[in-house]
Amino acid sequence: MLGRVVVSRDEIASMVSRLAVEIEADIAGRAPVFIGVLKGCVFFMTDLVRQIAKPIEMDFVQVSSYGASTTSSGSVVLVKDITVDVRDRDVYLVEDIVDTGTTLTDVVRLIDARHPRSVKVVSLLSKPSRRQVEVEIAFLGTEIDDLFVVGYGLDHAERYRNVPDIHVLQPS
Ligand code: 5GP
């Protein structure tokens, strides 16, 4: 069940606005491609790109790692690939949360193999104390403690994604 609020909807909204300003200033030249990592990114991605007043393209990739558990299995399976050609394009990879760093490392490798001009990671949340693989997050919402959180796109066994605030998951 839902526990205490870790990041409120108001805090999320101000983080998204700040990130949109930072990213908009970073966009140079041709329209970049925003690639969201499904499914956790959905609300973050759609809230973020609507605040960027520059031409952009969107695509999504889906990988699976967690299943119904709350700890990483450490192996990532590609479920849905991108369809946009990212060769020589600037890519912003949009993640909900970076935990061990395994998923992001694999997704960055997948995108890099298509020869983009640049790849920068945008993540709403990060749990630095859980990191096993070092990853560079160019644009970060906020760091959180080692907690399993749900809401604003983040699930547990596909539930709670539609919850507006981010809560800690409480064992019931
Ligand atoms: P990593 O590969 O960095 O260990 O895990 C990244 C993925 O695990 C995230 O994209 C997310 O789907 C899932 N994940 C990691 N921590 C949490 C968490 O606290 N809550 C939820 N709902 N998912 C998480």
Cross-strand pairs, 121 = 93
At 98-115, the pLDDT tens digits run: 999 999 999 999 999 999
Query: What pLDDT does 133 receive?
Result: 95
From the number of C-beta atoms within 10 Å of its C-beta (0-12, 13-18, 19+), residue 83 rates as exposed
CATH says 7-148 is which class?
alpha beta
In the Cβ-directed half-sphere of 132, how many Cα atoms lie within 13 Å?
A: 11
Domain positions in the chain: 7-148
**Rounded distance between C-alpha atoms, residue 165 and residue 150, angstroms:** 8
Atom 20, ligand 1: which residue's CA is nearest?
A: 149
Query: What pLDDT does 119 receive?
Result: 98
Mean pLDDT score, 157-168:
98
172 band by pLDDT with thresholds 50, 70 and 90: confident
Query: What pLDDT does 67 receive?
Result: 52
Amino acid code (one letter) for 159: R
Strand order of the β-sheet with 118-126 is 77-80, 57-64, 33-38, 90-98, 118-126, 139-143
92 band by pLDDT with thresholds 50, 70 and 90: very high
21 band by pLDDT with thresholds 50, 70 and 90: very high
161 token code pair: 């994604």
At 51-69, the pLDDT tens digits run: 999 999 999 999 986 554 5
Instruction: Please list every protein residue whose CB sits less than 6 Å from any atom of ligand 1.
Output: 40, 65-66, 72, 95-104, 148-150, 154-156
**Ligand 1 atom at minimum distance from 127 CA:** 16
Atom 23, ligand 1: which residue's CA is nearest?
A: 154
- What pTM was estimated for this model as a whole? 0.94
70 band by pLDDT with thresholds 50, 70 and 90: low
